[in-house]
């Protein structure tokens, strides 16, 4: 969340949000809400489908409410119409004090008239929403987590029927809450079939995005389940991308701090135990022996070292560069082996870097006389959260007229000068900082700048039109800005 941005905004809010809410409450009703919660480790993915019906002609702004706990864990939120790929514009109205909820509005592509319906799909990703239970486990013990949630999906509109399905990644569900005295149903509040626990259906729920409703009717539920794969968190990622026109090279160097957020290892680590588990093909679920990373196509000079020195046990399979503008459907695959298996509660820090042909990432816009270079924000690791990320883009010496476009806003951003011993005047550097990135946050930061007298390179990357197309797309996406902001 950008603090300087939010403060004036919320002031503005109290002035006009109330009327907005009041009119919003009349303009729709939910004929059904279905929420599917896919439990995981560091990330939990939620898909909520709102079947909505307009109560007034010309209804085109739908309001979504997140409870405080839910909002606290949510790092990504996007809205689409069911079956479509285009994201709908979303506006973040922040915390609404009088109702104790966080509000977002979604703009429908076409206004609905009375009794017209639409299916709105809201996808969110929660981070740090689970924790290991028990908190400690011996090397051969299983791994289990707990997930807390609120029972009812809140909405400023009345809802005819709603249900929530919580899917455990393993059929082993140790326990789940059966809340007492829930209104809105005369049947079983919760049922379980295989790895899926279903809360509801609940009927005829009044507008629930209010403090009174939350205090009186909302319930907490907890699911305790087994997880057969490790809970990997990146507590810190520092990426430095160095653009060299001389070498026509883009060097990317990532400094990772990994943390195994599974149960803390009880007792000592036994390599023998670990090896015999590996031998029988059943490594403990809370041990991270290796990790597969999808690196870009066309890379070379890949290096990987930790505090002790070079690590040479890893396997790398590279794939040639992808033509500019084509879909990135090929990856180089690094099977990364830490120096030691990362046990529950342990950390491992290392540096991973590579070189790429600059032409794979750069374009020259002859209209503006500027170079455009697209730098990926991070290497996406499915199921993993990155708590703190810092992306530095180091431009060629003498670069001027610098602009940059991130796919979603950073918490802090600045342009400064990077001085290395080979430089005379230093090189401009763009630094962006983020928190709680998820596997939805892959994206490209586009930097544009001018550099005098590098005609040789200009020729090499002359056919930049495809990349510029992407760049324009990046700008369009930026305007939609679907990233949720939070502390
Ligand atoms: C909308 O639907 C309701 C119930 O089905 C019906 O009573 C009402 O007349 C409809 N309104 C319009 C404008 O069609
Ligand atoms: C790591 O290996 C690279 C080349 O493989 C070498 O240049 C470098 O000096 C080595 N670094 C250490 C710390 O051993
Ligand atoms: C792992 O790193 C975190 C911070 O990144 C730190 O709080 C924790 O103490 C570290 N754990 C160990 C076992 O060193």
Strand segments, DSSP code E, in 82-140 are: 90-96, 101-112, 117-127, 130-132, 136-137
First to last CA, the chain: 5
- CB contact at 8 A, 73 and 41: no
Among 136, 142, 140, 137, smallest CA distance to 277 is for: 140
Q: Hey, what are 269's tokens?
A: 């680590």
Q: How far apart are CA 90 and CA 62, in angstroms?
A: 10
Residues 289, 314 within the same domain: yes
On whether residue 474 sits in a domain, the answer given is no
Q: Are residues 263 and 187 in the same domain?
A: no
Structure token digits, residue 131 = 């924790």
Residues 222 and 242 in one domain: no
Residues whose CB falls within 8 Å of the CB of residue 234, separated by 6 or more in sequence, listed in order: 256, 257, 258, 259, 381, 384, 385, 386, 387
Pocket of ligand 2 contains residue 329 by CB under 6 Å = no
In a shared domain, residues 197 and 254:
no
Range(s) of the domain holding residue 353: 232-461
- Do residue 97 and residue 30 come from a single domain? yes
Q: Is residue 478 part of a domain?
A: no
Same domain flag for 303 and 426: yes
Percent of the chain scoring above 90 in pLDDT:
63
CA 375 from chain center: how many Å?
17
Reading the block at residue 151, the tokens are 């029972």
| pLDDT of res. 409 | 84
Q: Is any atom of ligand 2 closer than 6 Å to the C-beta of 309?
A: yes
Which residue, of 185, 211, 226, is where some domain finishes? 226
3-class DSSP assignment, residue 458:
helix
- Give whole-number Cα distances, 378 to 49, 66, 238, 334, in Å: 30, 28, 9, 15
CA–CA dist 42, 132 (Å, integer): 11
What does the pLDDT average to over 251-266?
A: 96
Report the CATH number at residue 447.
2.60.40.1730
Q: Are residues 68 and 151 in the same domain?
A: yes
Instruction: Tell me, yes or no, whether 476 lies in a domain.
Output: no
Total tally of structural domains belonging to the chain? 2
Residue 282 sits in the same domain as residue 170: no
| pLDDT tens-digit series, residues 193-239 | 999 999 999 999 999 999 999 999 999 999 999 999 999 999 999 99
pLDDT at position 273: 79
Per-residue pLDDT of 417-471, as tens digits, reads 877 665 566 789 999 999 999 999 998 999 999 987 655 555 555 545 545 555 5
Q: Rounded distance, CA 452 to CA 152, Å?
A: 60
Q: How far is CA 159 from the centre of its chain?
A: 29
Inside any domain, residue 469: no
Q: Is residue 487 part of a domain?
A: no
What contacts 292, CB < 8 A, 6 or more positions away?
333, 334, 335, 336
CA-CA-CA-CA torsion for 396, 399, 405, 410, nearest 10 degrees?
70
Query: Using 50, 70 and 90 to split pLDDT, how confident is the model at 294?
Result: very high
| Residue 466 in domain | no
Burial class (CB in 10 A: 0-12, 13-18, 19+), 66: buried
**Rounded to the nearest whole angstrom, what is the distance from the C-alpha of residue 325 to the centroid of ligand 2?**
35
- Examine the domain organization and report whether 209 and 267 are in the same domain: no
Q: Do residues 208 and 255 both lie within one domain?
A: no
Question: Cα–Cα distance between 107 and 63 in angstroms, integer?
Answer: 9
Q: pLDDT band at 320, cuts 50/70/90?
A: confident
pTM of the predicted structure, to 2 decimals = 0.87
114 Cβ inside 6 Å of ligand 1: yes
Q: How remote is the CA of residue 62 from the centroid of ligand 1, in Å?
A: 20
Give the Å distance between the CA of 293 and the centre of ligand 2. 21
Whether residue 169 is found in the same domain as residue 262: no
**CB distance 452 to ligand 2 below 6 Å:** no
Contact call for residues 297 and 379 (beta carbons, < 8 A): no
In a domain, 479, yes or no: no
Can you give the CATH number for the domain in which 41 is found? Answer: 2.60.40
**Probe residue for ligand 2, chosen from 306, 309, 310 as the CB with the greatest number of ligand atoms within 8 Å:** 310
Query: Could you say which of 192, 226, 260 is where a domain stops?
Result: 226
Residue 280 C-beta-side C-alpha neighbours within 13 Å: 9
Q: What is the pLDDT of residues 128-181, one digit of tens each?
A: 999 999 999 998 899 999 999 999 999 999 999 999 999 999 999 999 999 998
Q: Which atom of ligand 3 is nearest to the CA of 346?
A: 13
Residue whose token pair is 């084509």: 326
**Whole-angstrom distance, CA of residue 431 vs CA of residue 414:** 5
Residue 293's Cβ-side half-sphere holds a number of Cα atoms within 13 Å equal to 20
Q: What's the CA gap between 140 and 284, in Å, rounded? A: 6
In a domain, 127, yes or no: yes
Give yes or no: residues 187 and 285 share one domain: no
d(CA 258, CA 346): 8
Per-residue DSSP letters for 139-153?
Answer: TTS--EEEEEEESSP
Q: Mind listing the pLDDT tens digit for each residue in 42-94?
A: 999 999 999 999 999 999 999 999 999 999 999 999 999 999 999 999 888 88
More confident residue, 332 or 313: 332
Q: Determine the pLDDT at residue 463.
A: 47
Residue 224 to residues 130, 242, 286, 414, Cα–Cα distance (Å): 10, 45, 16, 43
Which ligand is nearest the CA of 117, by number?
A: 1
Task: Calculate how far, in angstroms, residue 346's C-alpha sits from the geometric centre of ligand 3.
Answer: 7
């Amino acid at each position: 969340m950008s603090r300087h941005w939010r403060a004036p905004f919320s002031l503005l809010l109290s002035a006009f949000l109330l009327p907005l809410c009041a009119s919003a409450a009349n303009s729709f009703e939910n004929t059904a809400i279905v929420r599917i919660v896919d439990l995981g480790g560091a990330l939990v993915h939620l898909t909520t489908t709102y079947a909505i019906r307009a109560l007034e002609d010309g209804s085109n702004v739908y309001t979504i409410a997140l409870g405080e706990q839910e909002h606290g864990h949510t790092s990504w939120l996007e809205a689409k119409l069911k079956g479509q790929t285009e994201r709908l514009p979303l506006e973040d109205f922040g915390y609404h004090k009088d109702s104790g909820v966080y509000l977002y509005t979604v703009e429908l592509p076409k206004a609905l008239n009375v009794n017209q319906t639409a299916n709105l799909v809201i996808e969110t990703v929660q981070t740090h929403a689970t924790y290991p239970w028990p908190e400690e486990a011996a090397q051969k013990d299983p791994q289990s987590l707990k997930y807390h949630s609120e029972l009812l999906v809140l909405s400023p509109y009345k809802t005819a029927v709603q249900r929530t399905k919580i899917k455990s990644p393993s059929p082993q569900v140790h326990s789940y809450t059966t809340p007492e005295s829930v209104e809105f149903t005369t049947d079983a509040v919760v049922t379980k079939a295989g790895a899926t626990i279903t809360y509801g259906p609940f009927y005829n729920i009044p507008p629930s995005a209010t403090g009174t409703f939350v205090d009186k009717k909302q319930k907490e539920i907890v699911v305790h389940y087994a997880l057969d794969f490790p809970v990997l968190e990146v507590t810190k990622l520092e990426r430095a991308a160095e653009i060299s026109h001389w070498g026509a090279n883009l060097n990317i160097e990532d400094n990772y701090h990994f943390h195994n957020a599974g149960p803390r290892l009880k007792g000592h680590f036994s390599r023998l135990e670990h090896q015999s588990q590996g031998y029988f093909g059943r490594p403990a679920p809370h041990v991270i022996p290796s990790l597969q990373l999808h690196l870009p196509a066309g890379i070379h000079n890949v290096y990987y070292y930790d505090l002790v020195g070079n690590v040479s046990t890893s396997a790398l399979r590279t794939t040639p560069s992808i033509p500019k503008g084509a879909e990135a459907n090929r990856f180089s695959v690094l099977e990364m082996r830490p120096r030691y298996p990362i046990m529950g509660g342990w950390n491992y820090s290392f540096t991973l870097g590579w070189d790429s042909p600059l032409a794979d990432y750069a374009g020259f816009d002859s209209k503006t006389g500027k170079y455009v270079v697209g730098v990926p924000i991070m290497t996406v690791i499915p199921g993993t959260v990155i708590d703190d990320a810092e992306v530095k883009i180091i431009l060629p010496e003498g670069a001027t007229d610098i602009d940059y476009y991130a796919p979603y806003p950073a918490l802090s951003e600045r342009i400064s000068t990077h001085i290395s011993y080979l430089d005379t005047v230093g090189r401009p550097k763009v630094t962006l900082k983020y928190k709680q990135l998820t596997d939805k946050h892959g994206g490209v930061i586009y930097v544009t700048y001018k550099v005098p007298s590098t005609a040789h390179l200009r020729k090499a990357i002359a056919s930049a039109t495809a990349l510029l197309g992407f760049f324009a797309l990046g700008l369009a996406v930026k305007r939609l800005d679907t990233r949720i902001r939070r502390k």
